[in-house]
Amino acid sequence: MSEPVRLDKRVAELAGCSRAQAQQYIEGGWVRVDGAVVEEPQAPVAAERVELDPDARLEPAEPATMVLNKPAGVDFKNAAALVLAAAHAEGDASGVRMLKRHFQRLTPLMPIDAEASGIVVLSQDGRVWRRLTEDYALIEQEFVVEVSGELGPYGLKRLEHGLDYRGRPLAPCKVSWQNETRLRFAIKNLQGGQLRHMCEQVGLSVVSIKRLRIGRISLSKMPVGEWRYVPASERF
């Protein structure tokens, strides 16, 4: 029986490339050991069959960013636990290949109330983290809020401009009726509990809240509980 060697050494011999290039192939999910993808360059191999995908490309494994359709009742901080391979949206057209490393060290960004559903961003990418954290107050979010009750006088105008929250006046936002029971908000710098408080100030009770969009990236028709990749070409 042959002595075990590191997988990157075996791939370098197999492909006639450097060890650094072999590591890129492995980390990119292009290498199979006895038919199973292995992404760890240090994995030991001996007599196992090692194969390099014919379509393999030498490119660094980019940090992943996903958007999830979070169910109501899930704490925003726990959203990463829902990003599982089985919940990958069938309609994902990003072209990003699913790797095991994409499910590690995901940071949830753009907070949302636990009772609300809708789009949540999770990312490994420091550039995305900085954009959605440092520019949070500048990024427009879109919500649909189902309400009950009777809207008070000038209620729609007051929702758009004239209310306060936690002792401070709120910046203007855009509000319109989607139908008889649902209001659509386009709003920036949203704080926890703010939408519910705004509706209560004009005589409405909130039944449900759903976030549809963050910046230029929307939830589209992705089912609740599913997620998709956000490729580098998509900008918030």
Q: Are strands 204-214 and 117-123 parallel, antiparallel or unpaired?
A: parallel
The per-residue pLDDT for 93 is: 93
The per-residue pLDDT for 1 is: 52
- What is the model's pTM? 0.87
The number of C-alpha atoms within 13 Å of 43 and in the hemisphere containing its C-beta is 18
- Residue 155 and residue 199: Cα distance in Å, rounded? 9
The helix/strand/coil state of 145 is strand
- Residue 85 and residue 103: Cα distance in Å, rounded? 8
The per-residue pLDDT for 62 is: 84
- Residue 9 and residue 22: Cα distance in Å, rounded? 7
Residues paired with 206 in a beta bridge: 147
Contact 123, 106 (CB under 8 A): yes
The per-residue pLDDT for 147 is: 98
- Asked whether the CA dihedral 54, 100, 234, 212 is positive or negative, the reply is positive
CB atoms within 10 A of CB 131: 19
30's tokens: 């292009």
Per-residue pLDDT of the chain (236 residues; tens, 9 = 90+): 578 999 999 999 999 999 999 999 999 999 999 999 999 999 999 989 999 999 999 987 789 999 999 999 999 999 999 999 999 999 899 989 899 999 999 999 999 999 999 999 999 999 999 999 999 999 999 999 999 999 988 999 999 998 999 999 999 999 999 999 999 999 999 999 999 999 999 999 999 999 999 999 999 999 999 999 999 889 99
Contact 198, 191 (CB under 8 A): no
- Asked whether the CA dihedral 135, 136, 140, 142 is positive or negative, the reply is positive
The per-residue pLDDT for 60 is: 79
All domains in the chain, ordered by first residue: 5-52 (3.10.290.10), 65-137+217-229 (3.30.70.580), 140-214 (3.30.70.1560)
Residues paired with 213 in a beta bridge: 142, 218
